[in-house]
Every structure is written in C-alpha cells, then in structure tokens.
C-alpha cells in the first residue's frame, strides 16, 4: 500500500518510479509499468491462462476490449481531469465551469454504461471479465467525484462488483 496523496506522489523518489506521479506501478522482474490498462493486458497475457477475457479474436473479445478501454480511456479521463484541475488550481483558483464540464462528461459516460447494462449482470452478460475490473475502478471514481449525479442504472452493477470477494480483499487495506 502507498500514500495516494499528491504530496507523496510528487516526491522525487516516486517520480523516479512513475514520472507523472501515477498510481499504480507494476514491477514484474525487469518490467516496470505505470499504465493500469496496459498492466491488466500484460498480466492477463503472461499469467492469465485465458481467464477473465474471451478468446482473443472473437467478437466477444472485441466487446471486452471495447469496454475495458472505454473505462480506461474515455470514462476515466474526465474524472481524472477533475483531480488534475484540483491539483493545478487549488482553492479559490479552481474554475468551477471546468470541473462541472468534466463531471458532466463522466456522468454521460456512466449513463452509457448503465444503458448497456440493461438486462446484463456484467458488461459481457453473465460473465465477469477484466473489463468489469476496469469499469469498477472508474465507477468508483464517478461515485467519489460526482455522487449527486451517479446514474441510478449503475447502482446494481456497482453493488455486484463491490460484493465480489476479490474487490473486498483489494479494498480492505
């Protein structure tokens, strides 16, 4: 476990490991990575033995990749920008219109996920995949940063993800 504070991640020692101060960082032998979506792809390819993703090249795998990268690149981006804006423009320097725009983009992306999930337990139907892990992290960000506009259609899915034993273990500190 590490300190997620801005001050800790700005330390020179951490910036040597992760130049942008990003968390998490993965070390696997001589391999070092600090891009979480890429880490997941790497771990699945090296250690997954086909678990948590459909057969590569299948149409289900294409849908899996779509939602995995939607969570990482599209949905999480505006939420991350809320954090970045707060770091760069703290307190009275904060530009509320910028934060509101990013929050609205996050809510819109969350609603897209909620719409997709209608009649589904997980992103690919009844099968839990690594895309649900990526999406769960981003939904956690949405709930933390824009709780008053959290799409109600995400609630049951988010509750299912939080109830999983692996989630419980990962968040128990």
**For 13-52, what is each residue's pLDDT tens digit?**
999 999 988 888 999 999 999 999 999 999 999 999 999 9
Contacts 24+ apart (CB under 8 A), 122-129: 122/157, 122/160, 123/63, 123/64, 123/67, 124/54, 124/60, 124/63, 124/64, 124/67, 127/54, 128/52, 128/164, 129/52, 129/53, 129/54, 129/64, 129/68
**Cβ-contact 163, 156 below 8 angstroms:** no
Structure confidence at residue 9 as a pLDDT band (50, 70, 90): confident
CATH for the stretch 6-47: 3.40.30.10
**Rounded-to-integer distance, Cα 40 and Cα 63, Å:** 16
**Rounded-to-integer distance, Cα 117 and Cα 156, Å:** 10
In the chain, CATH 3.40.30.10 sits at 6-47
Q: Which of 16, 99, 106, 103 is nearest to 70 (CA)?
A: 106
**Cβ-contact 161, 136 below 8 angstroms:** yes
What's the pLDDT tens digit per position in 109-156?
Answer: 999 999 999 999 999 999 999 999 999 999 999 999 999 999 999 999
Return the DSSP state at 33.
E
**Rounded-to-integer distance, Cα 150 and Cα 133, Å:** 18
What is the model's pTM? 0.91
CATH for the 59-171 domain, from 3.30.70.100, 3.40.50.300, 3.30.365.10, 1.20.1050.10:
1.20.1050.10
pLDDT attached to residue 137: 95
What are the DSSP E strand ranges found in 7-84?
26-28, 31-33
């Amino acid at each position: 476990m590490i300190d997620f504070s801005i001050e800790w991640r700005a330390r020179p020692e951490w910036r040597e490991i992760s130049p942008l101060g990003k968390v998490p960082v993965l070390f696997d032998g001589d391999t070092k990575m600090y891009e979480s979506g890429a880490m997941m792809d790497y771990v699945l390819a090296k250690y997954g033995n086909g678990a948590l993703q459909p057969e590569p090249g299948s149409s289900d795998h294409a849908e899996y990749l779509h939602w995995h990268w939607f969570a990482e690149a599209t949905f999480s981006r505006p939420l991350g920008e809320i954090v970045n804006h707060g770091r760069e423009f703290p307190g009275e320097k904060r530009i509320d219109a910028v934060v509101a725009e990013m929050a609205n983009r996050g809510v819109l992306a969350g609603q897209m996920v909620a719409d997709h999930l209608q009649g589904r337990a997980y992103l690919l139907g009844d099968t839990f995949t690594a895309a649900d892990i990526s999406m769960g992290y981003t939904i956690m960000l949405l709930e933390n940063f824009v709780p008053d506009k959290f799409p109600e259609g995400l609630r049951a899915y988010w509750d299912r993800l939080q109830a999983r034993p692996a989630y419980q273990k990962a968040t128990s500190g």
